[in-house]
Chain A
Amino acid sequence: MRGRRIGAAAMAAFSVLGAAGCGIAGADEVSLADKDRLVIGVNKDQPGVGLRTAGGGYEGFDVDVAREVARRLGVRAADVTFKEVTSATRQRMIRGGDVDLVVASYSITPDRKRQVAFAGPYYIAHQDILVRGDSPIKNVRDLRGRNLCMVQGSVSYERVTKEKGVAARLVPATGYADCFGKLTAGQVDAVSTDDLILAGLAAQTAESGGDAADRPRIVNAPISDEGYGIGLRLGDADGCVAVNKAITGMYQDGTAQRLLAKWFSPVGLKFTTTVPQFEGCD
């Protein structure tokens, strides 16, 4: 009798131990791979990449990529919510759990990888140069002595003047949309930043028509690799693997190529149609 009581006590103690053992795995937050609803952070001010529309929705390459990834994670379109992020807020929003994913021309860097995890990159953008249709500029060296648009806070112009040591004349602007206006107005000779952003800007005029000779074009002389990653919570390795699988699938069945063509073909950007080298999730 006593033996049985002791046995029962041991069993009880033991099931507590067992529960504690399971608790180690259960302490982690839910991986986004297992979520039924997703909140995805996107840009609101990059035409062709991530742009808030007049109707209150979002459109652009990043937004389409976000939708595709969510679909491939098994989340219905109705269960995807988009939230605006900026360069200043995206890291904090991932860490705070305000967004599950960020797809917002978010370049993967070793510094950033200490704060958030990155799936992808889903595309490797390159810093390139946008010029007027009749411009003789062929590569970054040709910018010597030319008027180059300078956006305060962006590192793109420094890559030309400092990294490449090309003595361009810098013309300040408030943003890349402003740069684009100055380019078409002839106040600057070139705008240099990520090719997808340039292509998105240029696509706006390509759609509105106009003389082909005046239409801005991309030089196609890349001077950097910017791996656009999908940001997610640090430590969610399974979520990261699942997103990578979704990206691989997008390239394998032609979805990625179709989306790139949809947003960037009109301006003659030579985009890469093969899956990028991933950063890895472990």
Chain B
Amino acid sequence: MTAVHQPPSAPPPAGPIAGGPPATRPPSAEPALPGRPAARSEPRTGAARLVPRTVAGRVRVLTALIVVALAALLAVTWSAVADARDGVRVIGHDAGPQVVATGDLYFQLIEMDAQLADALLVGRTQNLGVKREQALESYDRSRRAAGAALLQAARLADDPTEERTARELLDAVARYERLAAQALLLDEQTPHDAGPPPERVLETYRQATDLMKLDLLPKAYNLTLDNGTLVRHTYEDKRDAVTAGRLWVLGTGLVVLALLGGLQLFLFRRFRRLLNPALAIATLGTLVFVGVGFTMLGGQADHLKKAKEDGFDSILALSRARAIGNSANADQTKYLLDPARADTYEQVFLSKSQTILYVKADSLAQYSGAVQQTGKENDYLGFLGSEFDRNRLPSQSQALNAVFTDYRAYQRDDRSLRDLVAGGQRQQAISTRLASPDSSFGEYDRSLGGLIKIHSTAFNDAIKKGDDGTAGWNLVIPVAGIVLVALVLAGVRPRLSEYR
């Protein structure tokens, strides 16, 4: 096998002098030879008692230790891979997408209320951009989508408080529907042209929209927040587990390598062999396994982080911004629809606008002026402000700039609408608003959708990489285990056979 192979000339004797009484021999006189019990000058105590006296015994114990350490290495790798896979599954395929879907609940509820307002505002007038039938069809679509999202959110609810919120939401949706039906019926009974409907219609609509604003929307939003917490916890737990598991892999890997090195050294000293090829390959194999495993787990922690921070967080925040923007746009309609509450709706429009993009302002006029100034994006707060701070993806800043530009245009248009009303031309404002419904808002909403898409792509990429990263490890781990154990055994077997 090797150039320096010097087998012992005879089967190992039991003692220094075959048949001789061991007790007469001075304990430390002879040098240790292969096969001899380790000569000790002092009585063996403590852990030393556990070390076998024969070389064969020692080789066996070292081998057993290596196999145990290898098993530990494979087990911690298995568990870290399982954690990584679990994290990717929950964030990428399970709770993550579901949470994004429940965000849709808020969006669709707002859409229902906005379409109801449009249907009531437009009345029997047919020559405007918005028609009653269209508004009602959109209303129905949103109602169905809201129902689906609510079901999803209820399924994600994981404690009694959240479940109760989901039940209360279901109940409130039914009450809203009843009020909406009443308002529409009353409105049909008293036909009117585009503009504020008769007082008793308004009264019923106010009840409906109050229910939406005060009861439905907050609960829907809070439920999505709760669901988001679930994803955050999973992410933190799994990412910590993967990071810790990675260190365990490194640690147990080092132990295996140290034991393999120890065995190699022991064989070298006892058998005068420079290298045991099988053990050398096993050592190299372990090194590669630990190195690849360590790197892979680092990559998995990274993919999880990217999926969560560049993908999920932004998607969720921007979807909320989108929903709140939709609701602000509905408040613009209501500002025209309900003159008695115009002040309140204007104030709410300002506060929602500031939630989306915050700049300090005392009034809506001041706000729309302030957001027009470019180059101050650094000072922006609110959803779009945080998005500006989170700028990490390629083409994100371009998309965000488009969102800013369109948002400014939307605020400008809103300003001119309100100036018309302030100048006593409410009817003119209503016609303008309805003639080209949501034109600048639509632009802004589409840009925001584009920005969300960039994050969705980043999210999907990270999840895909996460899926691929652990792919095959279910096979790699047992195969590596079998191969490494076989190599170790192959390495020590010829040596042990020398004692038979």
The answer to whether A13 has its CB under 8 Å from any CB of chain B is: yes
B218–A275 contact, CB under 8 A? yes
Residues on the A chain within 8 Å of B164, using CB: 252
Given contacts A18-B244, A162-B363, A248-B165, contact A3 B255 (CB under 8 A): no
Residues on the A chain within 8 Å of B247, using CB: 14, 17-18, 20-21
Q: In the assembled complex, how far is the CB of residue B316 from the closest CB belonging to chain A, in whole angstroms?
A: 8
Given contacts A110-B354, A163-B363, A277-B221, contact A11 B251 (CB under 8 A): yes
Given contacts A14-B251, A111-B381, A223-B344, contact A277 B313 (CB under 8 A): no
The answer to whether A103 has its CB under 8 Å from any CB of chain B is: no
The answer to whether B222 has its CB under 8 Å from any CB of chain A is: yes
Q: In the assembled complex, how far is the CB of residue B350 from the closest CB belonging to chain A, in whole angstroms?
A: 8
Select which of A2, A25, A278 is within 8 A of B222 by beta carbon.
A278
The answer to whether B39 has its CB under 8 Å from any CB of chain A is: no
Residues on the B chain within 8 Å of A110, using CB: 354, 358, 381-382, 385
Select which of B165, B258, B344, B381 is within 8 A of A222 by beta carbon.
B344
Which 7 residue pairs across A and B have the least CB separation, nearest first?
Answer: A3-B262, A14-B251, A277-B218, A110-B381, A163-B363, A6-B258, A110-B358
A244–B225 contact, CB under 8 A? yes
A7–B255 contact, CB under 8 A? yes
Residues on the A chain within 8 Å of B204, using CB: none
Residues on the B chain within 8 Å of A140, using CB: 343
Supply 7 A–B pairs (Cβ within 8 Å), ascending by A.
A3-B262, A21-B247, A22-B244, A222-B347, A223-B343, A237-B229, A275-B165
B349-393 contact mask (Cβ, 8 Å, vs A): 1 or 0: 001001000101011100000000000000001100100000000
Q: In the assembled complex, how far is the CB of residue B77 from the closest CB belonging to chain A, in whole angstroms?
A: 14
CA distance A278 to B472 in the complex (A): 43
A282–B381 contact, CB under 8 A? no
The answer to whether B254 has its CB under 8 Å from any CB of chain A is: yes
The answer to whether B452 has its CB under 8 Å from any CB of chain A is: no
CA distance A13 to B259 in the complex (A): 15
Residues on the B chain within 8 Å of A277, using CB: 217-218, 221-222
Given contacts A22-B244, A158-B362, A237-B232, contact A281 B225 (CB under 8 A): yes
A224–B347 contact, CB under 8 A? yes
Task: Name the interface residues of A143-184: CB closer than 8 Å to any CB of B.
Answer: 155, 158-159, 162-165
CA distance A164 to B362 in the complex (A): 9
Q: In the assembled complex, how far is the CB of residue B204 from the closest CB belonging to chain A, in whole angstroms?
A: 18
Q: In the assembled complex, how far is the CB of residue B269 from the closest CB belonging to chain A, in whole angstroms?
A: 9
A14–B254 contact, CB under 8 A? yes
Closest residue of A by beta carbon distance from B386: A110
Q: In the assembled complex, how far is the CB of residue B119 from the closest CB belonging to chain A, in whole angstroms?
A: 25
Residues on the B chain within 8 Å of A212, using CB: none
Which DSSP category, helix, strand, loop or mixed, fits chain A's interface? helix
CA distance A111 to B266 in the complex (A): 68
Residues on the A chain within 8 Å of B217, using CB: 277
Residues on the B chain within 8 Å of A11, using CB: 251, 255
The answer to whether B243 has its CB under 8 Å from any CB of chain A is: yes
Closest residue of B by beta carbon distance from A272: B214
B250–A14 contact, CB under 8 A? yes
The answer to whether A133 has its CB under 8 Å from any CB of chain B is: no
Closest residue of A by beta carbon distance from B269: A2
In this complex, the member of A6, A7, A249, A272 whose beta carbon has the largest number of chain B beta carbons within 10 angstroms is A7
Q: In the assembled complex, how far is the CB of residue B385 from the closest CB belonging to chain A, in whole angstroms?
A: 7
Given contacts A7-B65, A10-B258, A225-B351, contact A245 B161 (CB under 8 A): yes
Closest residue of A by beta carbon distance from B361: A163
A268-282 contact mask (Cβ, 8 Å, vs B): 1 or 0: 000010111110111
The answer to whether A24 has its CB under 8 Å from any CB of chain B is: yes
The answer to whether A77 has its CB under 8 Å from any CB of chain B is: no
B443-457 contact mask (Cβ, 8 Å, vs A): 1 or 0: 000000000000000
Residues on the A chain within 8 Å of B254, using CB: 10, 13-14
Residues on the A chain within 8 Å of B385, using CB: 110
Q: In the assembled complex, how far is the CB of residue B319 from the closest CB belonging to chain A, in whole angstroms?
A: 12
Task: Name the interface residues of B194-231: CB closer than 8 Å to any CB of A.
Answer: 214-215, 217-219, 221-222, 225-226, 228-229
